[in-house]
Structure 1
Amino acid sequence: MADLECDLAIIGGGLAGGLIALAFAERRPGTRILLIEQADHVGGNHIWSFFDGDVDARDRWLVDPLVSSRWSQGHEVRFPGYRRQLDTPYNSIASPRFDAHVRAALGNRLLTGARVATIGRQFLVLEDGRRISAPAMIDARGAGDLSALRCGWQKFVGQTLRLAQPHGIAWPVIMDATVAQIDGYRFVYLLPRDARTIFVEDTYYSDGPALDAEGIAERIAAYAQAQGWQVEEVIHSESGVLPVVHGGDFDRYWPVDDPVARAGVKAGLFQPMTGYSLPDAVRFATWLVEQPLKGLPAATRTYAATHWKKGLYYRLLGRMLFGAAAPDQRWRIFARFYRLRPGLIQRFYAGRSTIADRIRILCGRPPVRIRDAMHALLNPPA
């Protein structure tokens, strides 16, 4: 129960906090860091995935040791009447591997089962009474005040299934939107792990955050049955609700007078249209490890505010998705998008669309009526 002392306290051992800790352990080993996680392990219960183009080659040192599965042959999408294979390699990071790697890299610089009760100017107090002196700290505990943002929601339930016979899926299926459209844009996401093991995730771009986990699990079972798969065991389950941000007030989400630095979703560091956070988590961690610890709150807020401004285009697309397209017709927007050039698609997911990309996405025959799109832009959904 002794008090502790460090140079940098990282609060929250999810993706963002864990990557920051790994970056400092590798590139600034002389900095005394402490990663504080309230659960008994880091990384939660997740599978994070990314395309090769999402992470710059110069930053791959941070994520390559974490990759638990890689599909070098590319991936596939499926829509009614249309399928396409893209050759961009795809990678996944599973929570157990993430947890094991963070533990090995940090050793006694990882503190699990520790919930923060109070954050002072240069110290933390845990619920068990321990005090941690830290001249610099960064808060990476999930989302901030989402009431400050206008959101749709990407929500999902995923299960890793062990099958009686081979499933026959050779590479990831990023979107199988040939399924019934329920509760917004619905698709099934498939990651083959081995010949008889596959991760199946049922995902929705929905107007509301309510998640019917039991009902969605039943749909996963029905999907498996429709594929002719006999499920022997559900090895792993996970679920989540991600904000798809189409507007809001950044200054209310992260007040300018907040004295604590932020990272991850709490800093608004994700692709607004997809809720996809891994590329930004990697970029932020590799940026942060090069920064002085003094003045961290202001520096990280400036970084996040710049990211917010750059995300305006994606928020406009989100506004059209949720405001202009009927829920059961939203798949048409994605089907049209996936007919565009592979490089454009890749840059979109990485949050690095060029001006030409942005024009091209909006050009041509629109999948929603122009009148509805303009109404959505001028009258954003609540």
Structure 2
Amino acid sequence: MSSRAPASIVDVAIVGGGLAGGLIALALANKRPELRVRLFEQGATLGGNHRWSWFETDLDDPAKVLLAPFRKAAWDGYMVGFPGYDRALETPYRSMASHDFDRALRRELPAGVVQAGIEVVSLAQDHVLLADQTRVPARAVVDCRAATPSRHLAGGWQVFMGRHLRTTHPHGIELPFIMDATVDQIGGFRFVYVLPLSANDIFVEDTYYQDSPKLDRDALSSRLDAYCAAQGWDYGIVGHETGVLPVVTGGDFGAFRAEQSAHGGVVLAGARGGFAHPLTSYTLPYAAGLAGRIADNADLPGDQLAALIDREAREHWRDTKFYRLLGRMLFQAARPEQRVRVFERFYKLPPPLIERFYAGKSTLRDKARILIGKPPVPVSRAIPALLSAGRPMQGKTR
């Protein structure tokens, strides 16, 4: 038994200081500053080592207000490139690095909210237990830790390696190239993602939509070297990141949610709660929206707040069915090196349709427009894919 005295009760205990947890803490500080909130993060900094990007049209006005304190790169458009064409689009694009996320939260949150370098070993609806056996009672507990790999989901994987480079001379790139798919298609749909962060700073990432979660660091590193050499960049490496994200195409969502929490009455948020775009794996717009709704309902007892967010998660699963269907087309109907044709066809569509697609708000007319016409995959493979529940996901994320 621990000899420590129990900690005083808090109103909301948030476990996991990544994107979802940090935004929930900020929304509570903005809307309910009188509440006692604690944000527990095992690592030394909030947000880990990540870069989040989004279209400005992904966010509603409250989400834009919530994100206002964060330093971010901003552009008034972006580029895509495919073997058959390049295209410039005028949708505003934004990007934020995790170190800027950490700095802003430490500045904006009241003293004592951020509990970094603190490991939570277990949690329940009325408390969290720390590694030193301190028990922190809480009226509501929000679990924002990373999702655990699940046998209940089907789909494929988005695998990537990114580098922040500093060039010795101005690189001359003005707009983000969010999808340069003119590169060799290897093992699935491959594209390079390029963000001009300043005149001499650039972020470049090699990304793959592939059937397995394997991340071959040596191969991706050498391909990034070759891509940068082809651009003529002379540079030093400032930072880097790698990632393996699930691209969910089906599964038993109820079983997944049950698997993610050992105890009822705990609020599941972020990717652990299933709040992501199934096809793009975007999480920021959903994290910002959910943070506001949790703050708006922060007076609810923990079990009632958990039930409310559970209903919202299930509605999100139903509302994003169309994108999981497209994911099955991508992973099961299109042969790996031909998956580029799916995106090449998509990016010829009208910009407002593309904006609604990324925001997860495609209309019935949008869906029909995406599906009609000559399909970019063989019909003989498309029909079985549409009728399938999806390919079971094997392996684990990093």
The TM-score bracket by the shorter chain reads over 0.9
Asked whether the 8 Å contact 2:147–2:272 carries over to 1, the reply is yes
Deviation larger for 345-354 or 291-300: 291-300
Out of 81, 93, 97, the residue aligned to residue 94 of structure 1 is 97
Amino acid at match of 1:348: F
Q: CA RMSD in A?
A: 1.4
Match of 1:381 among 358, 375, 391: 391
Match of 1:285 in 2: 291
Instruction: Report which stretch shifted further, 120-129 or 217-226.
Output: 120-129
CA contact 2:162–2:206 (8 Å) conserved in 1 = yes
Aligned residue for 2:73?
Answer: 69
Matched, 1:265 2:271: yes
**1:106-163 alpha-carbon deviations (Å, 9 max, x no partner):** 2211101111112134111111121111010110001144221002111111001111
TM-score, length-scaled by structure 1:
0.97
Q: Which ranges of structure 1 fall in alignment gaps of 5 or more residues?
A: none
Deviating more after overlay: 273-282 vs 144-153: 144-153
Alignment-derived partner of residue 328 in structure 1: 337
The reply to whether residue 212 of structure 1 matches residue 216 of structure 2 is yes
Deviations 1:74-104 (A, max 9, x none): 0000000200000011111111110011111
Secondary structure of 2:69's aligned partner? helix
Q: C-alpha deviations, 1:20-65, integer Å up to 9, x for none?
A: 0000011110111100000011011111011110101232111122
* Distance of 2:44 and 2:391 partners within structure 1: 39
Separation in 1, partners of 2:88, 2:102: 32
Map of 1:348-367 to 2, 5 A cutoff? Answer: 348-367=357-376
Q: Distance in 1 between matches of 2:229 and 2:11?
A: 54
* 1:49 aligned onto 2:53: yes
Alignment deviations for residues 281-308 of structure 1 (CA, whole Å, 9 cap, x no partner): 1111111111133111111111101101
Instruction: Pick which of 130-139 and 143-152 moved more.
Output: 143-152
Quote the offset at 1:3 in angstroms. Answer: 4.1
| 1:274 matches 2:277 | no
Aligned 8 A contact 1:189 1:203 in 2: yes
Check if 1:38 corresponds to 2:47: no
Cα distance in structure 1, aligned partners of 2:29 and 2:254: 32
Partners of 2:54 and 2:123 in 1: CA distance: 34
3-state SS of the aligned residue for 2:43? coil
- TM-score (structure 2 length as normaliser): 0.93
Candidates 239, 243, 248, aligned match of 2:242: 239
Could you tell me which amino acid in structure 2 is paired with residue 6 of structure 1?
V
Unaligned runs of 5+ in 2: 393-398
8 Å CA contact 2:166–2:238 kept in 1: the answer is yes
| SS of structure 2 residue aligned to 1:270 | coil
How many Å apart are 1:255 and its aligned residue? 2.1
Output the amino acid matched with 2:97: A
Distance 1:331 1:211 in 2: 20
Contact kept in structure 2, 1:144 and 1:265, CA below 8 Å: no
Bigger drift between 57-66 and 35-44 goes to 57-66
- The equivalent residue for 1:299 is 308
Q: 1:108 is paired with a residue of what secondary structure?
A: coil
Q: C-alpha separation between the residues in 2 aligned to 1:242 and 1:213?
A: 15
For residue 44 of structure 1, give the secondary structure of its aligned residue in structure 2: coil
| Distance in 2, Cα, partners of 1:205 & 1:160 | 22
Task: State the match for 1:60 in structure 2.
Answer: 64
Conserved? CA contact 2:156–2:391, under 8 Å: no
Identity %: 48
Q: How many residues align?
A: 380
Task: Tell me the secondary structure at the aligned position of residue 129 of structure 2.
Answer: strand
Change (3 A) 1:70 1:121: closer
Kept in 2: contact 1:67–1:91 (CA 8 A): no
SS at match of 2:121: strand
